[in-house]
Structure 1
Amino acid sequence: MKVTLLGTGDTTGTPTPGCDCDTCRAADEHGVERTRFSVHVEHEPSGDSLLVDFSPDFRYQFLREDVPLPDAGIVTHQHFDHLDGLGNAYRLFEELPVYAADETDPETGESVAETVASKFDYLRPLDARAVTPFESFDAAGFEVTLVPVDHPPLLCYGVVIERDGAKLSLSGDTTYDIPEESREAMCDPDLLLADGIVPAHLSHHHPRGGRHEDSEGVPRTFGTKHMTLEGALALGDDLNASETRVVHVSHFFPADEAFADELAVDGETFRL
Protein backbone atom coordinates (compact mmCIF):
# COMPACT_ATOMS: atom_id res chain seq x y z
CA MET A 1 0.00 0.00 0.00
CA LYS A 2 1.13 3.50 -0.80
CA VAL A 3 -0.11 5.98 1.80
CA THR A 4 -0.09 9.70 0.97
CA LEU A 5 -0.83 12.26 3.66
CA LEU A 6 -2.94 14.80 1.81
CA GLY A 7 -3.87 16.81 4.90
CA THR A 8 -2.19 16.65 8.30
CA GLY A 9 -3.65 19.71 10.04
CA ASP A 10 -6.54 20.55 12.32
CA THR A 11 -9.67 22.50 11.48
CA THR A 12 -7.85 25.76 10.57
CA GLY A 13 -4.70 24.26 9.09
CA THR A 14 -1.16 25.60 9.15
CA PRO A 15 -0.56 28.28 8.06
CA THR A 16 -3.86 29.54 9.45
CA PRO A 17 -5.52 32.36 7.43
CA GLY A 18 -5.06 35.76 9.04
CA CYS A 19 -2.48 34.44 11.53
CA ASP A 20 1.02 35.86 11.85
CA CYS A 21 2.21 33.63 14.70
CA ASP A 22 5.78 32.34 14.62
CA THR A 23 4.63 28.86 13.62
CA CYS A 24 2.55 30.03 10.66
CA ARG A 25 5.40 32.27 9.50
CA ALA A 26 7.88 29.41 9.86
CA ALA A 27 5.63 27.12 7.80
CA ASP A 28 5.60 29.74 5.05
CA GLU A 29 9.36 30.12 5.21
CA HIS A 30 9.94 26.36 5.07
CA GLY A 31 7.34 25.85 2.32
CA VAL A 32 5.39 23.27 4.30
CA GLU A 33 1.67 22.97 4.95
CA ARG A 34 -0.78 21.15 7.14
CA THR A 35 -4.11 21.43 5.36
CA ARG A 36 -7.32 19.87 6.70
CA PHE A 37 -7.16 16.13 7.34
CA SER A 38 -7.27 13.55 4.56
CA VAL A 39 -5.33 10.37 3.73
CA HIS A 40 -5.03 8.67 0.34
CA VAL A 41 -4.30 4.94 0.17
CA GLU A 42 -3.34 3.28 -3.12
CA HIS A 43 -2.70 -0.33 -4.12
CA GLU A 44 -0.16 0.34 -6.83
CA PRO A 45 -0.27 -3.08 -8.59
CA SER A 46 -4.01 -2.76 -9.26
CA GLY A 47 -4.40 1.02 -9.21
CA ASP A 48 -7.18 0.76 -6.60
CA SER A 49 -7.35 3.77 -4.29
CA LEU A 50 -9.24 4.76 -1.17
CA LEU A 51 -9.69 8.10 0.60
CA VAL A 52 -10.10 8.48 4.34
CA ASP A 53 -12.04 11.69 5.05
CA PHE A 54 -12.93 14.39 2.57
CA SER A 55 -11.09 17.58 3.45
CA PRO A 56 -12.48 20.99 2.46
CA ASP A 57 -9.07 21.30 0.75
CA PHE A 58 -9.85 18.30 -1.51
CA ARG A 59 -9.29 20.01 -4.87
CA TYR A 60 -6.04 21.66 -3.86
CA GLN A 61 -4.69 18.49 -2.22
CA PHE A 62 -5.31 16.30 -5.27
CA LEU A 63 -3.80 18.82 -7.66
CA ARG A 64 -0.77 19.34 -5.42
CA GLU A 65 0.01 15.65 -4.81
CA ASP A 66 -1.13 14.35 -8.23
CA VAL A 67 -2.63 11.16 -6.80
CA PRO A 68 -5.50 9.34 -8.53
CA LEU A 69 -9.07 10.13 -7.60
CA PRO A 70 -10.38 7.51 -5.17
CA ASP A 71 -12.49 4.52 -6.12
CA ALA A 72 -14.19 4.72 -2.72
CA GLY A 73 -14.13 6.83 0.42
CA ILE A 74 -14.60 6.64 4.18
CA VAL A 75 -15.94 9.34 6.48
CA THR A 76 -14.96 9.05 10.14
CA HIS A 77 -17.30 11.63 11.68
CA GLN A 78 -19.55 14.60 11.07
CA HIS A 79 -17.18 17.57 11.57
CA PHE A 80 -16.83 19.76 8.51
CA ASP A 81 -13.05 19.42 8.20
CA HIS A 82 -13.49 15.67 7.63
CA LEU A 83 -16.72 15.70 5.64
CA ASP A 84 -17.36 18.83 3.62
CA GLY A 85 -14.90 18.03 0.86
CA LEU A 86 -17.49 15.56 -0.42
CA GLY A 87 -18.97 18.46 -2.35
CA ASN A 88 -16.02 18.06 -4.72
CA ALA A 89 -17.58 14.85 -6.02
CA TYR A 90 -19.68 17.02 -8.32
CA ARG A 91 -18.71 16.30 -11.96
CA LEU A 92 -15.57 14.38 -10.91
CA PHE A 93 -17.04 10.90 -10.43
CA GLU A 94 -19.47 8.65 -12.23
CA GLU A 95 -19.92 6.69 -9.01
CA LEU A 96 -18.36 7.11 -5.58
CA PRO A 97 -19.18 4.65 -2.78
CA VAL A 98 -18.69 6.36 0.59
CA TYR A 99 -18.65 4.18 3.69
CA ALA A 100 -19.57 5.46 7.15
CA ALA A 101 -20.82 4.07 10.43
CA ASP A 102 -24.45 3.06 10.92
CA GLU A 103 -24.72 3.87 14.66
CA THR A 104 -27.20 6.61 15.54
CA ASP A 105 -25.45 9.54 17.19
CA PRO A 106 -27.49 10.79 20.19
CA GLU A 107 -26.18 14.31 19.55
CA THR A 108 -27.48 14.56 15.97
CA GLY A 109 -30.17 11.89 15.84
CA GLU A 110 -28.63 10.24 12.80
CA SER A 111 -25.64 8.10 11.91
CA VAL A 112 -22.59 9.37 10.05
CA ALA A 113 -23.81 7.42 7.01
CA GLU A 114 -27.21 9.14 7.22
CA THR A 115 -25.51 12.54 7.51
CA VAL A 116 -23.47 11.83 4.39
CA ALA A 117 -26.60 10.75 2.50
CA SER A 118 -28.78 13.66 3.60
CA LYS A 119 -26.22 16.47 3.42
CA PHE A 120 -25.05 15.50 -0.05
CA ASP A 121 -28.28 14.15 -1.53
CA TYR A 122 -27.83 16.47 -4.53
CA LEU A 123 -24.72 14.54 -5.63
CA ARG A 124 -25.93 11.74 -7.92
CA PRO A 125 -22.56 9.91 -8.08
CA LEU A 126 -22.38 9.60 -4.29
CA ASP A 127 -23.49 6.27 -2.87
CA ALA A 128 -23.57 6.42 0.95
CA ARG A 129 -23.09 2.94 2.40
CA ALA A 130 -23.73 2.25 6.08
CA VAL A 131 -21.37 -0.19 7.81
CA THR A 132 -21.25 -1.55 11.34
CA PRO A 133 -18.23 -0.87 13.57
CA PHE A 134 -15.93 -3.87 14.11
CA GLU A 135 -17.41 -5.62 11.05
CA SER A 136 -14.79 -5.61 8.28
CA PHE A 137 -15.89 -4.73 4.76
CA ASP A 138 -14.37 -4.44 1.31
CA ALA A 139 -13.80 -0.94 -0.07
CA ALA A 140 -12.03 -0.68 -3.43
CA GLY A 141 -10.29 -3.97 -2.74
CA PHE A 142 -9.07 -3.00 0.75
CA GLU A 143 -10.22 -4.72 3.93
CA VAL A 144 -11.51 -1.93 6.14
CA THR A 145 -12.77 -1.86 9.72
CA LEU A 146 -14.24 1.10 11.59
CA VAL A 147 -13.59 1.20 15.34
CA PRO A 148 -15.20 3.54 17.89
CA VAL A 149 -12.93 6.12 19.52
CA ASP A 150 -13.59 9.02 21.92
CA HIS A 151 -14.42 12.44 20.43
CA PRO A 152 -17.37 13.90 22.36
CA PRO A 153 -20.00 15.05 21.79
CA LEU A 154 -20.04 13.29 18.41
CA LEU A 155 -19.50 9.64 17.62
CA CYS A 156 -16.19 9.18 15.83
CA TYR A 157 -14.29 6.22 14.44
CA GLY A 158 -10.76 5.12 13.88
CA VAL A 159 -9.99 3.14 10.75
CA VAL A 160 -8.01 -0.04 10.08
CA ILE A 161 -7.03 -0.72 6.46
CA GLU A 162 -5.36 -3.97 5.36
CA ARG A 163 -4.19 -5.45 2.08
CA ASP A 164 -1.52 -7.93 1.01
CA GLY A 165 -0.29 -8.35 4.58
CA ALA A 166 0.15 -4.60 5.19
CA LYS A 167 -1.80 -2.78 7.92
CA LEU A 168 -2.55 0.92 8.36
CA SER A 169 -4.31 2.18 11.48
CA LEU A 170 -5.75 5.68 11.92
CA SER A 171 -6.80 6.83 15.36
CA GLY A 172 -9.41 9.27 14.07
CA ASP A 173 -10.06 12.39 16.12
CA THR A 174 -9.92 11.09 19.67
CA THR A 175 -8.75 11.42 23.22
CA TYR A 176 -6.34 8.85 24.62
CA ASP A 177 -9.32 7.00 26.11
CA ILE A 178 -9.85 4.65 23.17
CA PRO A 179 -11.89 1.54 24.08
CA GLU A 180 -9.90 -1.66 24.54
CA GLU A 181 -11.75 -3.52 21.78
CA SER A 182 -10.84 -0.76 19.34
CA ARG A 183 -7.22 -0.86 20.46
CA GLU A 184 -7.14 -4.60 19.84
CA ALA A 185 -8.40 -4.11 16.28
CA MET A 186 -5.84 -1.35 15.64
CA CYS A 187 -2.82 -3.12 17.15
CA ASP A 188 0.40 -4.07 15.35
CA PRO A 189 0.09 -1.70 12.39
CA ASP A 190 2.91 -1.05 9.98
CA LEU A 191 1.93 2.61 10.24
CA LEU A 192 -0.20 4.44 12.81
CA LEU A 193 -1.56 7.90 12.05
CA ALA A 194 -2.44 9.34 15.46
CA ASP A 195 -4.25 12.55 16.38
CA GLY A 196 -1.98 14.87 18.38
CA ILE A 197 -3.25 18.44 18.32
CA VAL A 198 -0.81 20.16 20.74
CA PRO A 199 2.12 19.30 23.02
CA ALA A 200 1.17 18.37 26.57
CA HIS A 201 2.72 21.50 28.08
CA LEU A 202 -0.03 23.59 26.43
CA SER A 203 -2.85 21.70 28.16
CA HIS A 204 -3.32 24.49 30.70
CA HIS A 205 -4.68 26.67 27.88
CA HIS A 206 -7.77 24.46 27.56
CA PRO A 207 -10.65 25.22 29.97
CA ARG A 208 -10.69 21.53 30.89
CA GLY A 209 -6.91 21.26 31.01
CA GLY A 210 -5.20 17.97 30.32
CA ARG A 211 -6.38 14.45 31.17
CA HIS A 212 -5.27 10.83 31.08
CA GLU A 213 -1.87 11.61 32.58
CA ASP A 214 0.96 9.12 32.34
CA SER A 215 3.00 7.89 35.32
CA GLU A 216 4.95 11.14 35.31
CA GLY A 217 1.84 13.33 35.21
CA VAL A 218 2.09 14.24 31.51
CA PRO A 219 -1.37 14.70 29.95
CA ARG A 220 -2.10 12.39 27.05
CA THR A 221 -5.40 14.14 26.30
CA PHE A 222 -5.89 17.84 25.57
CA GLY A 223 -9.27 18.95 26.88
CA THR A 224 -12.13 16.74 25.74
CA LYS A 225 -11.58 15.73 22.09
CA HIS A 226 -7.96 15.21 21.09
CA MET A 227 -4.70 13.65 22.17
CA THR A 228 -1.57 15.57 22.94
CA LEU A 229 1.64 14.83 21.06
CA GLU A 230 2.69 12.70 23.99
CA GLY A 231 -0.62 10.86 23.95
CA ALA A 232 -0.32 10.11 20.24
CA LEU A 233 3.18 8.71 20.66
CA ALA A 234 2.10 6.71 23.72
CA LEU A 235 -0.73 5.22 21.67
CA GLY A 236 1.83 4.13 19.10
CA ASP A 237 3.76 2.35 21.83
CA ASP A 238 0.58 0.80 23.23
CA LEU A 239 -0.39 -0.56 19.81
CA ASN A 240 3.10 -1.79 18.97
CA ALA A 241 3.12 0.32 15.81
CA SER A 242 6.14 -0.15 13.55
CA GLU A 243 5.97 3.60 12.82
CA THR A 244 3.84 6.41 14.23
CA ARG A 245 3.17 9.75 12.59
CA VAL A 246 1.30 12.46 14.45
CA VAL A 247 -1.47 14.16 12.45
CA HIS A 248 -4.28 16.68 13.04
CA VAL A 249 -1.52 19.03 14.21
CA SER A 250 -2.46 22.62 15.08
CA HIS A 251 -0.55 25.85 14.60
CA PHE A 252 -0.47 26.23 18.39
CA PHE A 253 2.70 24.15 18.53
CA PRO A 254 5.55 26.56 19.30
CA ALA A 255 7.61 27.22 16.18
CA ASP A 256 10.67 25.48 17.59
CA GLU A 257 8.60 22.33 18.20
CA ALA A 258 6.17 22.40 15.27
CA PHE A 259 8.37 20.65 12.73
CA ALA A 260 9.87 17.86 14.81
CA ASP A 261 10.41 14.56 13.03
CA GLU A 262 7.40 12.80 14.55
CA LEU A 263 4.97 15.49 13.39
CA ALA A 264 3.61 14.85 9.90
CA VAL A 265 3.35 17.46 7.16
CA ASP A 266 1.36 17.32 3.94
CA GLY A 267 2.76 15.29 1.10
CA GLU A 268 4.57 12.60 3.07
CA THR A 269 4.30 9.14 1.54
CA PHE A 270 4.79 5.66 2.96
CA ARG A 271 4.90 2.25 1.31
CA LEU A 272 3.69 -0.57 3.52
Structure 2
Amino acid sequence: MRVTLLGTGDTTGTPTVGCDCDTCAEARRRGIERTRFSVHVENERTGESLLVDFSPDFRHQFLTQEVPLPDAGIVTHIHFDHLDGLGNAYRLLDDLPVYAADETDPQTGESVAETVTRKYDYLDRVRVHPRTPLEPFEVCGLEVTLVPVEHPPLVCYGLAIEDPETGAKLSLSGDTNYAVPEASRAVLRDPDLFLADGIVPAALCEHHPLGGDHHDDRGVPRTFGSKHMTREGAIDLAEDLAAAETRIVHTAHFYPAEEAFAEPLAVDGETYEL
Protein backbone atom coordinates (compact mmCIF):
# COMPACT_ATOMS: atom_id res chain seq x y z
CA MET A 1 0.00 0.00 0.00
CA ARG A 2 1.52 3.29 -1.12
CA VAL A 3 0.21 6.39 0.67
CA THR A 4 0.81 9.88 -0.72
CA LEU A 5 -0.17 12.98 1.22
CA LEU A 6 -1.55 15.22 -1.53
CA GLY A 7 -2.88 17.92 0.78
CA THR A 8 -1.88 18.46 4.42
CA GLY A 9 -3.30 21.91 5.12
CA ASP A 10 -6.45 23.35 6.63
CA THR A 11 -9.17 25.41 4.94
CA THR A 12 -6.84 28.18 3.69
CA GLY A 13 -3.69 26.13 3.23
CA THR A 14 -0.07 27.23 3.72
CA PRO A 15 1.05 29.58 2.31
CA THR A 16 -2.30 31.31 2.69
CA VAL A 17 -3.35 33.62 -0.13
CA GLY A 18 -2.52 37.24 0.65
CA CYS A 19 -0.69 36.38 3.88
CA ASP A 20 2.82 37.56 4.68
CA CYS A 21 3.12 36.03 8.15
CA ASP A 22 6.44 34.45 9.08
CA THR A 23 5.11 30.93 8.59
CA CYS A 24 3.77 31.60 5.10
CA ALA A 25 6.99 33.42 4.21
CA GLU A 26 9.06 30.47 5.44
CA ALA A 27 6.93 28.02 3.43
CA ARG A 28 7.56 30.12 0.30
CA ARG A 29 11.27 30.29 1.08
CA ARG A 30 11.43 26.50 1.41
CA GLY A 31 9.29 25.96 -1.66
CA ILE A 32 6.81 23.72 0.16
CA GLU A 33 3.05 23.72 0.44
CA ARG A 34 0.21 22.49 2.56
CA THR A 35 -2.74 22.50 0.20
CA ARG A 36 -6.25 21.52 1.23
CA PHE A 37 -6.63 18.00 2.61
CA SER A 38 -6.50 14.90 0.42
CA VAL A 39 -4.78 11.50 0.66
CA HIS A 40 -3.99 9.12 -2.20
CA VAL A 41 -3.83 5.39 -1.40
CA GLU A 42 -2.53 3.02 -4.07
CA ASN A 43 -2.99 -0.73 -3.83
CA GLU A 44 0.17 -1.83 -5.56
CA ARG A 45 -1.06 -5.42 -5.69
CA THR A 46 -4.05 -4.57 -7.89
CA GLY A 47 -2.85 -1.36 -9.54
CA GLU A 48 -5.92 0.50 -8.23
CA SER A 49 -5.96 3.72 -6.24
CA LEU A 50 -8.32 5.30 -3.74
CA LEU A 51 -8.65 9.01 -2.99
CA VAL A 52 -9.68 10.10 0.49
CA ASP A 53 -11.45 13.46 0.19
CA PHE A 54 -11.59 15.70 -2.86
CA SER A 55 -9.59 18.84 -2.23
CA PRO A 56 -10.36 22.09 -4.10
CA ASP A 57 -6.66 21.83 -5.01
CA PHE A 58 -7.28 18.54 -6.88
CA ARG A 59 -5.88 19.79 -10.21
CA HIS A 60 -2.72 21.22 -8.68
CA GLN A 61 -2.14 18.13 -6.55
CA PHE A 62 -2.41 15.69 -9.44
CA LEU A 63 -0.22 17.87 -11.65
CA THR A 64 2.55 18.14 -9.06
CA GLN A 65 2.50 14.66 -7.49
CA GLU A 66 3.36 11.48 -9.38
CA VAL A 67 0.20 9.53 -8.62
CA PRO A 68 -2.47 8.04 -10.92
CA LEU A 69 -6.00 9.37 -11.07
CA PRO A 70 -8.25 7.55 -8.59
CA ASP A 71 -10.35 4.49 -9.34
CA ALA A 72 -12.61 5.29 -6.37
CA GLY A 73 -13.05 7.92 -3.70
CA ILE A 74 -14.24 8.43 -0.14
CA VAL A 75 -15.76 11.61 1.28
CA THR A 76 -15.41 12.02 5.05
CA HIS A 77 -17.68 15.07 5.43
CA ILE A 78 -19.25 17.88 3.45
CA HIS A 79 -17.04 20.88 4.26
CA PHE A 80 -15.87 22.46 1.01
CA ASP A 81 -12.16 21.82 1.57
CA HIS A 82 -12.84 18.06 1.60
CA LEU A 83 -15.54 17.84 -1.05
CA ASP A 84 -15.50 20.54 -3.70
CA GLY A 85 -12.67 19.02 -5.71
CA LEU A 86 -15.07 16.28 -6.79
CA GLY A 87 -16.11 18.52 -9.66
CA ASN A 88 -12.74 17.70 -11.25
CA ALA A 89 -14.14 14.30 -12.19
CA TYR A 90 -15.85 16.09 -15.09
CA ARG A 91 -14.11 15.13 -18.37
CA LEU A 92 -11.23 13.48 -16.50
CA LEU A 93 -12.76 10.21 -15.35
CA ASP A 94 -15.06 7.81 -17.16
CA ASP A 95 -16.39 6.23 -13.99
CA LEU A 96 -15.84 7.05 -10.32
CA PRO A 97 -17.51 5.21 -7.44
CA VAL A 98 -17.59 7.44 -4.36
CA TYR A 99 -18.25 6.07 -0.89
CA ALA A 100 -19.69 8.07 2.00
CA ALA A 101 -21.57 7.50 5.23
CA ASP A 102 -25.30 6.79 5.20
CA GLU A 103 -26.19 8.25 8.63
CA THR A 104 -28.56 11.23 8.55
CA ASP A 105 -27.03 14.41 9.92
CA PRO A 106 -29.53 16.24 12.18
CA GLN A 107 -28.07 19.56 11.04
CA THR A 108 -28.67 18.99 7.33
CA GLY A 109 -31.38 16.32 7.24
CA GLU A 110 -29.16 14.36 4.85
CA SER A 111 -26.39 11.83 5.11
CA VAL A 112 -22.98 12.67 3.66
CA ALA A 113 -23.79 10.28 0.80
CA GLU A 114 -27.08 12.07 0.09
CA THR A 115 -25.45 15.50 0.12
CA VAL A 116 -22.74 14.39 -2.30
CA THR A 117 -25.40 12.88 -4.58
CA ARG A 118 -27.50 16.04 -4.55
CA LYS A 119 -24.63 18.49 -4.94
CA TYR A 120 -23.01 16.59 -7.81
CA ASP A 121 -26.09 15.23 -9.56
CA TYR A 122 -24.76 16.69 -12.83
CA LEU A 123 -21.73 14.38 -12.78
CA ASP A 124 -23.07 11.28 -14.50
CA ARG A 125 -19.65 9.63 -14.18
CA VAL A 126 -19.87 9.71 -10.37
CA ARG A 127 -21.79 6.94 -8.60
CA VAL A 128 -22.32 7.47 -4.87
CA HIS A 129 -22.40 4.38 -2.64
CA PRO A 130 -23.76 4.87 0.90
CA ARG A 131 -21.97 2.87 3.57
CA THR A 132 -22.78 2.31 7.23
CA PRO A 133 -20.15 3.50 9.71
CA LEU A 134 -18.27 0.81 11.66
CA GLU A 135 -19.14 -1.77 8.99
CA PRO A 136 -16.13 -2.70 6.80
CA PHE A 137 -16.46 -2.68 3.01
CA GLU A 138 -14.10 -3.48 0.15
CA VAL A 139 -12.85 -0.97 -2.39
CA CYS A 140 -9.79 -1.20 -4.65
CA GLY A 141 -8.93 -4.52 -3.03
CA LEU A 142 -8.65 -2.86 0.39
CA GLU A 143 -10.85 -3.13 3.48
CA VAL A 144 -12.22 0.26 4.51
CA THR A 145 -14.17 1.21 7.64
CA LEU A 146 -15.69 4.62 8.27
CA VAL A 147 -15.72 5.63 11.95
CA PRO A 148 -17.70 8.44 13.59
CA VAL A 149 -15.62 11.26 15.07
CA GLU A 150 -16.50 14.63 16.64
CA HIS A 151 -16.46 17.71 14.36
CA PRO A 152 -19.46 19.80 15.48
CA PRO A 153 -21.92 20.81 14.25
CA LEU A 154 -21.75 18.39 11.29
CA VAL A 155 -21.23 14.64 11.25
CA CYS A 156 -17.75 13.63 10.21
CA TYR A 157 -15.84 10.39 9.88
CA GLY A 158 -12.35 9.08 10.20
CA LEU A 159 -11.41 5.81 8.58
CA ALA A 160 -9.18 2.77 8.66
CA ILE A 161 -7.82 1.26 5.43
CA GLU A 162 -6.25 -2.19 5.62
CA ASP A 163 -4.73 -4.52 3.07
CA PRO A 164 -6.35 -7.90 3.80
CA GLU A 165 -3.39 -9.78 2.32
CA THR A 166 -0.43 -7.97 3.85
CA GLY A 167 -2.08 -6.59 7.00
CA ALA A 168 -0.75 -3.08 6.30
CA LYS A 169 -2.99 -0.50 7.95
CA LEU A 170 -3.56 3.23 7.50
CA SER A 171 -5.75 5.15 9.93
CA LEU A 172 -7.02 8.72 9.50
CA SER A 173 -8.60 10.67 12.33
CA GLY A 174 -10.70 12.80 10.00
CA ASP A 175 -11.49 16.36 11.09
CA THR A 176 -12.18 15.88 14.77
CA ASN A 177 -11.71 17.09 18.30
CA TYR A 178 -10.09 14.81 20.85
CA ALA A 179 -13.36 13.15 21.92
CA VAL A 180 -13.20 10.32 19.39
CA PRO A 181 -15.61 7.60 20.57
CA GLU A 182 -14.08 4.42 21.95
CA ALA A 183 -15.77 2.27 19.29
CA SER A 184 -14.03 4.37 16.64
CA ARG A 185 -10.70 4.23 18.46
CA ALA A 186 -10.95 0.45 18.50
CA VAL A 187 -11.17 0.40 14.68
CA LEU A 188 -8.37 2.94 14.25
CA ARG A 189 -6.02 1.23 16.72
CA ASP A 190 -2.59 -0.24 15.82
CA PRO A 191 -2.00 1.43 12.44
CA ASP A 192 1.31 1.37 10.61
CA LEU A 193 0.62 5.02 9.76
CA PHE A 194 -1.76 7.42 11.49
CA LEU A 195 -2.78 10.74 9.90
CA ALA A 196 -4.03 12.96 12.71
CA ASP A 197 -5.81 16.30 12.55
CA GLY A 198 -3.73 18.78 14.56
CA ILE A 199 -4.65 22.27 13.44
CA VAL A 200 -2.53 24.36 15.86
CA PRO A 201 -0.34 23.98 18.94
CA ALA A 202 -2.17 23.96 22.27
CA ALA A 203 -0.67 27.30 23.28
CA LEU A 204 -2.85 29.05 20.70
CA CYS A 205 -6.10 27.98 22.39
CA GLU A 206 -5.98 31.23 24.38
CA HIS A 207 -6.77 33.04 21.13
CA HIS A 208 -9.90 30.97 20.31
CA PRO A 209 -13.24 32.40 21.54
CA LEU A 210 -14.04 29.00 23.07
CA GLY A 211 -10.54 28.40 24.37
CA GLY A 212 -9.44 24.79 24.59
CA ASP A 213 -11.08 21.56 25.69
CA HIS A 214 -10.31 17.95 26.65
CA HIS A 215 -7.35 18.93 28.80
CA ASP A 216 -4.75 16.37 29.82
CA ASP A 217 -3.52 15.80 33.38
CA ARG A 218 -1.24 18.83 33.12
CA GLY A 219 -4.05 21.08 31.90
CA VAL A 220 -2.89 21.14 28.27
CA PRO A 221 -5.87 21.40 25.89
CA ARG A 222 -6.12 18.58 23.37
CA THR A 223 -8.93 20.33 21.46
CA PHE A 224 -8.72 23.78 19.87
CA GLY A 225 -12.16 25.35 20.31
CA SER A 226 -14.58 22.53 19.55
CA LYS A 227 -13.80 21.18 16.05
CA HIS A 228 -10.14 20.19 15.77
CA MET A 229 -7.36 18.67 17.84
CA THR A 230 -4.32 20.58 18.91
CA ARG A 231 -0.89 19.22 18.04
CA GLU A 232 -0.69 17.86 21.58
CA GLY A 233 -4.10 16.22 21.26
CA ALA A 234 -3.10 14.59 17.98
CA ILE A 235 0.06 13.18 19.56
CA ASP A 236 -1.88 11.90 22.58
CA LEU A 237 -4.46 10.22 20.36
CA ALA A 238 -1.69 8.60 18.33
CA GLU A 239 -0.18 7.23 21.54
CA ASP A 240 -3.56 5.90 22.66
CA LEU A 241 -3.95 4.16 19.29
CA ALA A 242 -0.41 2.72 19.45
CA ALA A 243 0.42 4.13 16.01
CA ALA A 244 3.74 2.93 14.60
CA GLU A 245 4.19 6.27 12.78
CA THR A 246 2.21 9.51 13.03
CA ARG A 247 1.97 12.49 10.73
CA ILE A 248 0.00 15.56 11.78
CA VAL A 249 -2.15 16.98 8.98
CA HIS A 250 -4.84 19.63 8.45
CA THR A 251 -2.44 22.15 9.97
CA ALA A 252 -2.94 25.92 9.83
CA HIS A 253 -0.51 28.71 9.04
CA PHE A 254 -1.04 29.93 12.62
CA TYR A 255 1.74 27.63 13.82
CA PRO A 256 4.71 29.82 14.77
CA ALA A 257 7.33 29.67 12.02
CA GLU A 258 9.88 27.98 14.30
CA GLU A 259 7.39 25.15 14.97
CA ALA A 260 5.49 24.96 11.70
CA PHE A 261 7.81 22.54 9.92
CA ALA A 262 9.03 20.47 12.86
CA GLU A 263 8.26 16.80 13.37
CA PRO A 264 5.74 15.24 13.23
CA LEU A 265 3.96 17.88 11.10
CA ALA A 266 3.47 16.72 7.52
CA VAL A 267 3.85 18.62 4.25
CA ASP A 268 2.47 17.86 0.82
CA GLY A 269 4.12 15.14 -1.20
CA GLU A 270 5.20 12.82 1.60
CA THR A 271 4.96 9.17 0.54
CA TYR A 272 4.81 6.03 2.67
CA GLU A 273 5.08 2.37 1.74
CA LEU A 274 3.03 0.25 4.15
Aligned equivalent of 2:129: 129
Aligned equivalent of 1:179: 181
The answer to whether structure 1 residue 232 and structure 2 residue 234 are counterparts is yes
Aligned equivalent of 2:267: 265
- Give deviations 1:101-155, integer Å, cap 9, x for gaps: 0000011110000011000000010000000000100111110000000000000
5+ residue gaps in structure 1?
Answer: none
Give TM-score, length-normalised by structure 1. Answer: 0.99
What is the Cα deviation at residue 89 of structure 1? 0.3
Calculate percent identity across the aligned residue pairs: 71
What amino acid sits opposite 1:135 in the alignment? E
Secondary structure at the counterpart of residue 209 of structure 2: coil
What is the Cα deviation at residue 182 of structure 1? 0.2
Give TM-score, length-normalised by structure 2. Answer: 0.99
What is the Cα deviation at residue 51 of structure 1? 0.4
The 2-side partners of 1:30 and 1:142 are apart by: 36
- Give deviations 1:199-244, integer Å, cap 9, x for gaps: 0000011100011111111100000100000000101000000001
5+ residue gaps in structure 2?
Answer: none
What is the Cα deviation at residue 53 of structure 1? 0.2
What amino acid sits opposite 1:256 in the alignment? E
The answer to whether structure 1 residue 15 and structure 2 residue 34 are counterparts is no
* Residue correspondences, number: 272
What is the Cα deviation at residue 258 of structure 1? 0.2
What is the Cα deviation at residue 48 of structure 1? 1.0
Matches within 5 A, 1:27-38: 27-38=27-38
What is the Cα deviation at residue 66 of structure 1? 2.0
What amino acid sits opposite 1:229 in the alignment? R
Aligned equivalent of 1:85: 85
Over 4 Å off, 4+ runs: none
Aligned equivalent of 2:215: 213
What is the Cα deviation at residue 47 of structure 1? 1.0
- Give deviations 1:64-107, integer Å, cap 9, x for gaps: 00200111000000100000000000011111000000000011
Matches within 5 A, 1:1-272: 1-163=1-163, 164-272=166-274
The 2-side partners of 1:24 and 1:107 are apart by: 35
What is the Cα deviation at residue 261 of structure 1? 1.7
The 2-side partners of 1:59 and 1:215 are apart by: 44
